[in-house]
Structure 1
Amino acid sequence: MFSLQRISELLPGPLKGLTVRFDSAPINSIDRLSDFVHTRSSYISQTALYGYLKTRMGTRYRQLFEDPVFSQTIRAAAVKIFLAGLGDLTVYAVARVRKGHNLSDEDAARLAMLCFERAAQSGLEDTPADMIPATALSAFGERLEGTDWTAMASGSSAFTSSEAALIAHAPVADEFKELDREIMGNSIRLRWRDAREQLDKRLDADALYRAWLDRG
Structure 2
Amino acid sequence: MGTRYPSMFEDDVFIGSINIAKLHVFAACLSDLTVHAVAKIGAEGALSQDEASALARHCHAEGLAQNAEALPDAQIVEDWRERFHDRIADLHWQNAATSGDCFAESPKALFKWAPIADELKRFDREIVENSIRFAFGEVTRAFRERADLSALARDWQSRSTRG
TM-score w.r.t. structure 2 length? Answer: 0.90
Task: Tell me whether 1:204 sits opposite 2:148 in the alignment.
Answer: yes
1:88 counterpart residue number = 32
From 36, 49, 52, the equivalent of 1:108 is: 52
Task: Tell me whether 1:141 sits opposite 2:85 in the alignment.
Answer: yes
From 166, 182, 207, the equivalent of 2:110 is: 166
The letter of the residue matching 2:156 is W
For 1:28-69, what per-residue CA distance to the aligned partner results, in whole angstroms no more than 9, with x for missing partners? xxxxxxxxxxxxxxxxxxxxxxxxxxxxx3222222222122
Task: Tell me whether 1:74 sits opposite 2:18 in the alignment.
Answer: yes
Task: Tell me whether 1:58 sits opposite 2:10 in the alignment.
Answer: no
From 130, 143, 154, the equivalent of 2:98 is: 154
Q: How does 1:159-198 map to 2 (within 5 A)?
A: 159-198=103-142
Question: Deviation at 1:151?
Answer: 2.0
2:66 counterpart residue number = 122
Question: Deviation at 1:71?
Answer: 0.8
For 1:45-97, what per-residue CA distance to the aligned partner results, in whole angstroms no more than 9, with x for missing partners? xxxxxxxxxxxx32222222221222111111111111001100110100000
- Between the aligned partners of 1:90 and 1:107, the Cα distance in structure 2 is 14
2:71 and 2:77 in contact (8 A); partners too: no
Question: Deviation at 1:173?
Answer: 0.7
Unaligned runs of 5+ in 2: none
Change (3 A) 1:87 1:173: same
- Between the aligned partners of 1:131 and 1:179, the Cα distance in structure 2 is 33
TM-score w.r.t. structure 1 length? Answer: 0.69
2:40 and 2:149 in contact (8 A); partners too: yes
1:156 and 1:193 in contact (8 A); partners too: no
Change (3 A) 1:128 1:143: closer
- Between the aligned partners of 1:175 and 1:165, the Cα distance in structure 2 is 17
1:79 and 1:131 in contact (8 A); partners too: no
- SS of residue in 2 equivalent to 1:103: coil
Length, aligned pairs only: 160
- SS of residue in 2 equivalent to 1:201: helix
> Which ranges of 4 or more aligned residues in structure 1 deviate by more than 6 Å?
none
Superposition CA RMSD, Å? 1.7
